[in-house]
Structure 1
Amino acid sequence: MIIKASQRANGNELARHLLNEVENEFVIVHKVSGFMANNLPDAFRESYLFSQATKCKQHLFSVSYSPPVGEEVTTEQFEEAISQSADIMGLKNQPYVIVFHEKNARRHAHAVWCRIDPENMKAVHLPYYKNKMAELSKSLYLKHNWQLPKGHLAQAKRNPLNFSPSEWQQAKRLDIDPRIMKQALQNCWHNAKNKQAFETALSNHGYRLAQGDRRSYVAVDWRGEVLSLSRWLKVKKRELKMQVGNYEYLPTIETVKANIDKQLTQNVEQFDKQIRRFYKGRFTPLINAKENMITRHNTQREDLSKKQEQRQKLEQSRRLSNHAKGWRGIWNHVTGRYKHIEKQNQQEALVSHKRDQEMRDHLIFKQISERHKLQTRFDQLKTSQQRDLQEMRQAVFSKLPKEKIAHLERKFSAEPQHNQSWNVEV
């Protein structure tokens, strides 16, 4: 499974993210262990208070575990991977929490450890944690016979469409799939032979070349968002300079934004709205089906939980009845039979707990399989929408005659832009 780890602070923000039921269809706080608190916000606040007695600023170690698409990973297997992480990083005796998220027919886990050792009042050192988690990730793929991602086979074979969290967040604000954005920018770069060809290719996709404030070479998109070319193209400043020339001769971001603002027209807005309005009608029944499915799945889980609670009470009552009362109970203590019965009860309780967890996992896998079928329809429709939006924007910026553009510029300057596009979270 893919494992991503980070040292961090700001436990309140992390707790909000882990408990976010808006962006996740199901959020399950599986375990809070080693803290005095029994909930995430208070547990992370407890970790922060410990850190105040040390020089440690990033007092939390947060790790996410994402299995390959289509693989059914049990709760026990997740816990095993989390336990291995703790052993590798020297966090075995540290307080931690485990949270499960389900979204878009996929299930993944988050584990967060407090780095502060309360006995020595020092932070547990985590050297090379990214490399160690990458090795653990690879070992889990091999152990479970999952198909290895190309990035594990060789660094040079990494997917060129991979992007960092910061790139994802930036693209998410723009309501454009970041993979499409990165592919468009990289195609412009690799297919251009000189500066003019590069600028033309960028323009055809709605971007303008500019001189950045902190980064020498940037692209400004049709909404005014500034993208670092060295980051999105994965090239160094030296290569950009050889192809594009000295950045000081490029227009400033402010100049480019001013020109782009003039070129944004009501026609572009109208085309955008028409496409989104069309897809909104196609998304609506899927969204309704998704909400009904989540409600039904939640009911099924609650029903199973109630049945298991009732059975646990009956089984607990039966185990308690195994202990004799009165003189016979005293005799069992004297002869040691009480300990034998207590050990047997504990073994039966453990078997009962494992059986119930397996039943919950089975229900979750069944529901995820059903949700996956619906998610496939969502993904296909969203991909189609993104493709239509991208093709429309490219067509607008590449095929309008100059006199038409000039006319639309005057029209736009007289009528402010009010872009209220419709978006769907799937």
Structure 2
Amino acid sequence: MILKASERAYGQNLARHLLNVEDNEHVELVELRGFISDDLAEAFKEAEALCRGTKRTSKYLFSLSLNPPEDANATLEDFEGAAQRIEEKLGLSGQPRALVLHDKNGRLHAHVVWSKIDAETMTAKQLPHFKRKLMDIAHDLYLEHGWQLPSGLEAHGKARAENYELAEAQQSKRAKCDPEELKRLFQNCWEVSDDLTSFRAALREQGFGLARGDRRGFVAVDTSDEIYSLSRWCGVKARELKARLGKPDELPDIDTVRAVLISEGEAEKQRALEERAEALKSRIKPMLVARKEMIAQHRAARRALSSQQTSRATEEARQRSSRFARGLGLIWEFVSGKRAKLRKENALHLAECQARDRREREILGARQRKERRELELQIRARLNKLRELEREPDMARSHSLIKDMSGPRLQ
């Protein structure tokens, strides 16, 4: 599994993201451990309230995403096992945590969020070198499951240049761009240039302008409101930027560069790309309708199964309760030890029923994900053929315009 994690605050924003059914076809809150509330947003409020009693941190949550390979059939047990291993490795054992499953484009992935605040000591758990430790665990998980190692793990400890953090993913989403392709675009511009003039020209070919940022030094801008930190997107340090480009003070400010881009017709070029994307969308509309209908059918099937299991669980609970004696017979049942025996039998029966329900949900989910993957492959094949016919440029910004047709990327 690819493991991406960050220490963070703003638990309410995270709760909305994790429960977002617009970007995810199916969302399931599997576990809330160690919290008083059974509501995700309220649980994160509890962690935030504890954080206010500490002095040395404002980031009270540790958020982790677990993404198995595209062709892997990972189960809830796999995610739970990975989460258990991770919390033991990082020193988070016993901390309150939430586990959320997301189904997207026929792929199952998970998010686990721990509270970093130790309620007994009112201090935040320290997580030194957590990225390196997660890399170790990810490497082991790939080998144990027999999955093909991604390029970033083949040479263990060597990160892929296109890896991106949460902030980059959020910015690329606002800009309607694929984060990996956008990062590759900036890195290519950096690699093919050797001074300020050539770097500015390389960015300009891709629709960006080079500007002096308010706080970041060198930044790239386009005709939108986004400002791209070049040290972040190019993957280089600020001193490397200065060594090649000189001082940012000599560059125009953000508003000036953006005005030039608009005057030179970048906005019109972007609208033209959007029009071409709409034309492609109209040609693939039947398959997009089929996707929407399939998602609706799958959601309805899951609701029906949940309702059926709830009704059955209620009846089974009633049957277990009816096994106990009433009135005076209760005294004899207690004294003879029969009541304790019945409790053990009922507990075993309850565990068996819960395991059965879990298997039923996993079987349904696996079947639905197989159907979605097959449809998604058809959609992607059709899109690739249309792109060839349209001779769409191989650029991150043009590809991102039809991102909604090929499905959202996992985050």
* TM-score (structure 1 length as normaliser): 0.81
Deviation for aligned residue 1:297: 0.9
Aligned to 1:415: none
Aligned to 1:53: 53
Deviation for aligned residue 1:262: 1.3
Aligned to 1:76: 77
> Secondary structure at 2:171's aligned position in 1?
helix
Residues 185 and 232 in structure 1, CA contact (< 8 A), matched pair in contact too: yes
- Comparing 245-254 with 293-302, greater Cα deviation is found at 245-254
User: Given the superposition, is the C-alpha separation of residues 77 and 423 from structure 1 closer, same or farther in structure 2, using an over 3 Å criterion?
Assistant: closer
Aligned to 1:169: 170
- Comparing 30-39 with 269-278, greater Cα deviation is found at 269-278
Identity %: 37
Aligned to 2:16: 16
Deviation for aligned residue 1:365: 1.0
Q: Deviations over 1:7-33 (max 9, x none)?
A: 222222222112212222112111222
Distance 2:121 2:268 in 1: 66
Residues 207 and 266 in structure 2, CA contact (< 8 A), matched pair in contact too: no
Aligned to 1:32: 32
Distance 2:19 2:51 in 1: 23
Residues 206 and 393 in structure 1, CA contact (< 8 A), matched pair in contact too: no
Distance 1:390 1:243 in 2: 33
Distance 2:326 2:109 in 1: 48
Distance 1:270 1:317 in 2: 63
- The amino acid that maps onto 1:43 is A
Deviation for aligned residue 1:201: 3.3
Distance 2:201 2:6 in 1: 40
Structure 2 portions without partners, runs of 5+: none
Residues 3 and 66 in structure 1, CA contact (< 8 A), matched pair in contact too: yes
Residues 102 and 110 in structure 2, CA contact (< 8 A), matched pair in contact too: yes
Distance 1:162 1:210 in 2: 25
Residues 272 and 389 in structure 1, CA contact (< 8 A), matched pair in contact too: no
User: Given the superposition, is the C-alpha separation of residues 228 and 318 from structure 1 closer, same or farther in structure 2, using an over 3 Å criterion?
Assistant: closer
Aligned to 1:134: 135
Q: Does 1:151 align with 2:159?
A: no
Aligned to 2:118: 117
- Comparing 276-285 with 296-305, greater Cα deviation is found at 276-285
Distance 1:173 1:140 in 2: 32
> Secondary structure at 1:110's aligned position in 2?
strand
Equivalences for residues 384-423 of structure 1 within 5 A: 391=393
Deviation for aligned residue 1:361: 0.6
Q: Does 1:227 align with 2:228?
A: yes
Aligned length: 400
Q: Which has the larger radius of gyration?
A: 1
Residues 162 and 179 in structure 1, CA contact (< 8 A), matched pair in contact too: yes
> Secondary structure at 2:31's aligned position in 1?
strand
Aligned to 2:342: 341
Aligned to 1:280: 281
> Secondary structure at 1:391's aligned position in 2?
coil
User: Given the superposition, is the C-alpha separation of residues 267 and 51 from structure 1 closer, same or farther in structure 2, using an over 3 Å criterion?
Assistant: closer
User: Given the superposition, is the C-alpha separation of residues 156 and 351 from structure 1 closer, same or farther in structure 2, using an over 3 Å criterion?
Assistant: closer
> Secondary structure at 1:374's aligned position in 2?
helix
Q: Deviations over 1:147-176 (max 9, x none)?
A: 222222326753333233333333322323
Aligned to 1:411: none
Deviation for aligned residue 1:321: 4.6
User: Given the superposition, is the C-alpha separation of residues 69 and 322 from structure 1 closer, same or farther in structure 2, using an over 3 Å criterion?
Assistant: same
Deviation for aligned residue 1:145: 2.0
- The amino acid that maps onto 2:257 is V
> Secondary structure at 2:133's aligned position in 1?
helix
Q: Does 1:258 align with 2:259?
A: yes
- The amino acid that maps onto 2:6 is S
Equivalences for residues 240-259 of structure 1 within 5 A: 240-241=241-242, 243-259=244-260
- Comparing 22-31 with 223-232, greater Cα deviation is found at 223-232
User: Given the superposition, is the C-alpha separation of residues 193 and 8 from structure 1 closer, same or farther in structure 2, using an over 3 Å criterion?
Assistant: closer
- The amino acid that maps onto 2:278 is R
Deviation for aligned residue 1:216: 3.9
Q: Deviations over 1:61-106 (max 9, x none)?
A: 2222222212112212222222223323333323222221222222
Residues 291 and 375 in structure 2, CA contact (< 8 A), matched pair in contact too: yes
Q: Deviations over 1:159-202 (max 9, x none)?
A: 33323333333332232333333333333333346555444433
Distance 2:212 2:386 in 1: 32
Aligned to 1:405: none
Residues 222 and 264 in structure 1, CA contact (< 8 A), matched pair in contact too: no
Distance 2:157 2:48 in 1: 40
- The amino acid that maps onto 1:29 is L
User: Given the superposition, is the C-alpha separation of residues 155 and 195 from structure 1 closer, same or farther in structure 2, using an over 3 Å criterion?
Assistant: farther
Structure 1 portions without partners, runs of 5+: 395-420
Deviation for aligned residue 1:247: 4.3
Over the aligned positions, Cα root-mean-square deviation in angstroms equals 3.3
> Secondary structure at 2:6's aligned position in 1?
strand
User: Given the superposition, is the C-alpha separation of residues 116 and 139 from structure 1 closer, same or farther in structure 2, using an over 3 Å criterion?
Assistant: same
> Secondary structure at 1:80's aligned position in 2?
helix
- The amino acid that maps onto 2:80 is E
Distance 1:187 1:144 in 2: 34
Distance 1:221 1:390 in 2: 21
Q: Deviations over 1:339-393 (max 9, x none)?
A: 2332222222212211210111111011111111223344456678889697399
Aligned to 2:309: 308
User: Given the superposition, is the C-alpha separation of residues 214 and 49 from structure 1 closer, same or farther in structure 2, using an over 3 Å criterion?
Assistant: closer
Distance 2:213 2:161 in 1: 24
User: Given the superposition, is the C-alpha separation of residues 390 and 261 from structure 1 closer, same or farther in structure 2, using an over 3 Å criterion?
Assistant: farther
Distance 1:304 1:317 in 2: 20
User: Given the superposition, is the C-alpha separation of residues 380 and 167 from structure 1 closer, same or farther in structure 2, using an over 3 Å criterion?
Assistant: farther
Q: Does 1:102 align with 2:106?
A: no
